[in-house]
Chains A and B, each alone.
Chain A
Amino acid sequence: MHFRQTLVAALLVVSAWAPALAKGAKEEAKKHVEFGVTVAQKGLWREAIYRWEQAAKIDPNYPAAFNNLAVAYEHQGQFDKARKAYERALELQPDNQLIRQNYELFKEINDRTNRRGSR
């Protein structure tokens, strides 16, 4: 009986805190993304990748994190990872024209590389 009461109480606490925790996670993810953008603009792409990977881990439904990661992977020549990240970003936000245009530009280069490879 005592155990059941404790469990119910714990569930109540968790359900009350869950939205707040989720909000906190989103804010943390956003901070990572913003810092990533700042360092990427300074050319520090490795640090940016680390930040955006953290953001994607904390909030796996954050399109900007995946879009930015894709750009960074592209810059590093990691085309498979870039493609997956772009696809995830578009899956989360299919109507986002900025992500789509990034992806189209990426595909053009990637296709060109593959064409040359198949000669």
Chain B
Amino acid sequence: MTARTAAAVASLALALTVSACNDVYEVPIETPIQPKMDVSPFQRVLIAGFLAGGSEDVDANLETVRLLRSQLRSKSQLKVIDADVLPLIELANEQRTDKGDTNTNGAAPAAAPAGGPSPASNTTPQAPAKGKSNEGQQARIKDEKDLEPLEGIFANVDFWKKIGEEYQNPLIVTGSVLFTAHARSGFVQREQEVIDQLGRRRVVPVRTYMERKGFILQPKFIFIDGRTGTTIYSEGYKEEVLYSPQQTTPALSSYFELMDRLVPSFLSTLSAQKIKGSRILMK
């Protein structure tokens, strides 16, 4: 039994008990959950871009940036910076090359805000056209192993500090997003309507062997202090969805379905949330 189911059963039992007693009162409460991070030093947030990979049907870097920006605009007090999405894979690869050849870090970001300052270095790659991130590079990343060598970019303090300076020291949100196709076969229990000998309709559970297809979404959000370039906080998630063979769900729909599950938790990192419930007062 999951915690949620247990809570539901407990609430039901509670309601039944309450209805039987006179000296008890059910009251609604809103339990405040403090944000995991202290964002008070920041007025602005930059969703910079992500190391993204997996399915080629979804540009996980671009879609994640768009979604998080729009969520933060409506559900956070931080001002969301509207800048081009960083081609993070390209930059990470470049930093790896630089490190191997000349051991220099802190490549200037390729992207700049619309109408904002231009890229600081001629040697850095140019920002991709707005609305389309580095698809060519992204195709190379298929799983976590492919991501690992690139994750050093998150520890490159000089690089992030430089980006921070460029955007007036915001809170920077970056990380990685793997959105991969996934198939699983096995027995699935579903309900089937049957008509018995007396003509009565009944619903019975039926176990069927099915090959189901779906997607796994594995984002890791990294929060960087734009003033220092250091990581303040990070958290990872893994969500999956499976569909029956009859269903044809576009990859992008699945991506949003899975992100929908994660967004509240992402938002609660930055802003206080309230959990509604009820408790019993006694006399």
Residues of A within 8 A of B (CB): 30, 33-34, 36-37, 40-41, 63-64, 67-68, 71, 74-77, 97-99, 101-102, 104-106, 108-109, 112-113, 116-117, 119
Q: Tell me, rounded to whole Å, the shortest Cβ–Cβ distance linking A90 to chain B.
A: 13
Q: B283: which of A37, A102, A108 is its contact (CB, 8 Å)?
A: A37
Residues of B within 8 A of A (CB): 3, 6-7, 10-11, 13-14, 17-18, 21, 24-25, 27, 29-34, 36, 235-236, 265, 268, 275, 277, 279-283
Chain A to chain B contacts (Cβ below 8 Å), 27 pairs: A30-B283, A33-B282, A40-B27, A41-B27, A41-B281, A71-B27, A71-B279, A71-B280, A71-B281, A74-B29, A74-B279, A75-B30, A77-B31, A98-B18, A98-B24, A98-B280, A101-B10, A101-B280, A104-B6, A108-B7, A109-B31, A109-B33, A109-B277, A112-B3, A116-B268, A117-B36, A119-B235
Could you tell me if A109 and B275 are in contact, using CB atoms closer than 8 angstroms?
yes
A to B contact number (C-beta, < 8 Å) = 80
Which residue, B6, B36, B235, B281, has most C-beta atoms of chain A within 10 A?
B281
Could you tell me if B282 and A63 are in contact, using CB atoms closer than 8 angstroms?
yes
Closest 9 CB pairs of A and B: A64-B282, A77-B32, A75-B29, A71-B279, A119-B235, A98-B280, A101-B14, A102-B279, A37-B281
- Apart from A75-B29, A77-B34, A106-B279, list 5 A-B contacts with CB within 8 A: A37-B283, A41-B25, A104-B10, A113-B33, A119-B236
**Given A104-B10, A108-B3, A117-B36, is A74 in contact with B283 using a C-beta cutoff of 8 Å?**
no
Report chain B residues within 8 Å CB of A33.
282-283
Report chain A residues within 8 Å CB of B277.
105, 109
Residue of A nearest to B33 (CB): A113
The SS class assigned to the A binding surface is helix
Could you tell me if A64 and B283 are in contact, using CB atoms closer than 8 angstroms?
yes
Report chain B residues within 8 Å CB of A102.
279-280
Report chain A residues within 8 Å CB of B279.
71, 74, 102, 105-106
Report chain B residues within 8 Å CB of A41.
25, 27, 281
Residue of A nearest to B272 (CB): A77
**Given A98-B282, A105-B279, is A37 in contact with B25 using a C-beta cutoff of 8 Å?**
yes
Which residue, B11, B14, B24, has most C-beta atoms of chain A within 10 A?
B14
**Distance between Cα atoms of A34 and B10 in the complex (Å):** 25
**Distance between Cα atoms of A106 and B33 in the complex (Å):** 12
**Distance between Cα atoms of A108 and B11 in the complex (Å):** 12
**Given A75-B31, A116-B268, A119-B235, is A105 in contact with B10 using a C-beta cutoff of 8 Å?**
yes
**Distance between Cα atoms of A34 and B281 in the complex (Å):** 10
Q: A116: which of B3, B11, B265 is its contact (CB, 8 Å)?
A: B265
Report chain B residues within 8 Å CB of A30.
283
Report chain B residues within 8 Å CB of A109.
31, 33, 275, 277
Residue of B nearest to A74 (CB): B31
**Distance between Cα atoms of A42 and B281 in the complex (Å):** 13
